[in-house]
Amino acid sequence: MKKMFYFSFAVILLGFSLLWISSCNTTTSPTPQESWVYYKAGNGLVNNEVTCMIVDIQGNIWIGTNYGFSKYDGNKFTSWRVTDGLIFHAINCMAIDNSGNLWLGTDFGASKFDGSTFTNYNTNNGLGYNSVKSIAVDKENKIWFGTGKGISVFDGENWTYYVKEAGQSLVNNIVRGVMVDQNDHKWFGTEFGASEFYNNVWLTYLSQNALANFVFTVYDDNQNNIWFGSMAGTLKYDGTNYTSFSTGEGLVNNNVENIYEDSKNNMWFGTQFGVSEYDGNTWKTFNADSGLSSDWVTSIVEDKQGNLWFGTVNKGISVLQRLK
């Protein structure tokens, strides 16, 4: 009986030894994971209340906040404030023109920044209304300002204005989003519908869903689909058909305040309750429980390394470092 016990024990030991040897000779690489990096005022960012972001042709990331703006060049932040010449400290929107100038919209006018000096515009020198909510640049380098009272267009010398009128015109004067698409059509998201303008012809887009007519932003993807971010989710328009997405399809929240397409053609939708990624088939959501510094995402851009930057309402920037 003892011999049988010893024999069985030896067999078990031999089995464990072989397993140990096998495991030692097998290289198991850890599965790479997405990781997060955070930038706040303590890291050089001018302020934690991020309102907008944009990337220039060199890959610099420009960050607008409620107390000035910063540039991140890949290594450090450089910041500018009212004391440097900015027209007002709280920045609503930004755009970069064809000459590389940065345009910044505020509730007290707009500033043009050429990298060293500021030129400021308000109702005293041409701007139609001081509250600038969005800015876009067309192929002729005209600057289109969406304001609380229509649209102001500046060609560098002269101003043109568009407001709501009877008949064919801008659908509503409170313009929250301005976008120029690949065909140089101008799109305007307002608090009551959207307008398209091209060759002096206006088209109006209204939804049967009243909440969908409150348009926060308009975005043009690389297939020239037009995306509207509204209080009723997001709507994709391909020139013929409409496809709507809301929480029923997987969107984290129906108030879509900003939209972005990354280099992998994934669409991103920023809301007050996190950000949703849509790859054309499936949805994935990130919020404060899964890496974001704050649920309320105010802006989205991608850096030249393919990382996604999310500006938040009061906790700086969260950077999602993605698998290459």
Query: For 36-79, how does the pLDDT look when each residue is reduced to its tens digit (9 = 90+)?
Result: 999 999 999 999 999 999 999 999 999 999 999 999 999 999 99
- 177: tokens are 């989003």
Q: Which residues on adjacent β-strands are paired with residue 275?
A: 270, 286
| Phi and psi torsions of 68, nearest 5° | 105, -170
pLDDT at 324: 66
Alpha-carbon gap, residue 100 to 263, rounded angstroms:
22
Proportion of the chain above pLDDT 70, given as a percent: 89
- Taking only the tens place, the pLDDT of each residue in 288-309 is 999 999 999 999 999 999 999 9
Dihedral in degrees, nearest 10, Cα atoms 146, 151, 155, 157 = -110
3-state helix, strand, coil in the chain (%, to 5): 10, 45, 45
Instruction: Assign 32 a pLDDT band (cuts: 50, 70, 90).
Output: low
More confident: 158 or 165: 158
The closest alpha carbon to 143, from 113, 175, 173, 98, belongs to 98
Token reading at 188: 């305007």
Residues 233-254 have a mean pLDDT of 97
Domains of the chain, first to last: 37-321 (2.130.10.10)
pLDDT at 155: 98
Under 8 Å between Cβ of 311 and 299: yes
Cβ-based burial of 138 (10 A; exposed 0-12, middle 13-18, buried ≥19) = middle
pLDDT, mean of residues 137-166: 97
- The structure tokens listed for 115 are 């990298």
Q: How far apart are CA 139 and CA 17, in angstroms?
A: 72
pLDDT in the model for residue 9: 39
- Per residue in 91-100, pLDDT (tens digit) is 999 999 999 9
Confidence band (pLDDT; 50, 70, 90) for 20?
Answer: very low
Query: Does residue 163 contact residue 149 with C-beta atoms inside 8 Å?
Result: yes
Tens-digit pLDDT profile for residues 307-324: 999 999 999 999 999 876
| Per-residue pLDDT tens over the stretch 101-151 | 999 999 999 999 999 999 999 999 999 999 999 999 999 999 999 999 999
Confirm if 67 and 99 have CB atoms less than 8 A apart: no
Tokens standing for 70? 């910063």
Query: Measuring CA to CA, which residue among 187, 192, 264 is closest to residue 226?
Result: 187
DSSP string, 216-260: EEEEE-TT--EEEEETTEEEEE-SS-EEEE-TTTT-S-S---EEE
